[in-house]
Amino acid sequence: MRDILDIELILTYLAPRMVLILITWVVVFAACLVDLWSGISTAKAVEQKVYSHGLKKTITKFFDYWKVCAFAWMFDMVCFTFDWYSSPYASVLIALCVLLIEGKSVIENNKRKKSNAGKIDEVAKEIVKADNLDDASRVIKTIAELVSTINKNEKWKEEG
């Protein structure tokens, strides 16, 4: 039986697998950063304020992902004792799941950024401020332009 602390065994068998696990953890971190970037840019595009509550949710989500990654790492480490378990499958699976989740979030943010829903607040403020016929006419024209743009976007989505 080989010595448990055999350096050659560690370097040839365990080290490459640990590098793969480290890469999956970096991918999870990068996916969270991309989603955060996407969320902040979308908020700016639709003229929403970026509050610390949203940033706290991102940090909480990040640590939740890392907890799951830690369990996948432990699972991989136990399974590495079996000959048939040659790669960190659990860590890779978790990283792929996080990529899918965060990718979906980025796509949703892009859709939100392209919509005109962010202008609804602006139009509502204009409706409240309208105190004469000219202001009311201008607000109605703005609403008509928004509806027209939304209809064009809907037709484009249906065709695409």
Do 87 and 140 share a domain, yes or no? Answer: no
Is residue 107 domain-shared with residue 127, that is, in the same domain?
A: no
Are residues 137 and 79 part of one domain?
A: no
Both 70 and 83 in a single domain? yes
Domain co-membership, 97 together with 19: yes
3-class DSSP state of 121 = helix
pLDDT band (50, 70, 90) for residue 142: confident
Burial 139-148 (b: 16+ CB within 10 A, else e): beeeeeebee
Mean pLDDT, rounded, of the chain: 81
Same domain, 59 and 107: yes
Q: Which one of 98, 114, 130 terminates a domain?
A: 114
**pLDDT tens for each residue of 56-102:** 888 999 999 999 999 999 999 999 888 888 899 999 999 999 999 99
Specify whether 76 is located in the same domain as 129.
Answer: no
Please indicate, yes or no, whether residues 103 and 146 belong to a single structural domain of this protein.
Answer: no
Tokens 């027209």 sit on residue: 148
Let me know whether 90 and 160 are in one domain: no
> Which structural domain, as residue segments, surrounds residue 128?
116-160
Contact 25, 66 (CB under 8 A): yes
CB 91 within 8 A of CB 22: no
Is-contact 43 24, C-beta < 8 A? no
Do 86 and 61 have their domain in common?
Answer: yes
* Whether residue 77 is found in the same domain as residue 122: no
pLDDT in tens, 10-26: 777 788 889 999 999 99
- In the chain, how many domains are there? 2
- Same domain for 74 and 92, yes or no, is yes
Q: Are 95 and 28 in contact (CB under 8 A)?
A: yes
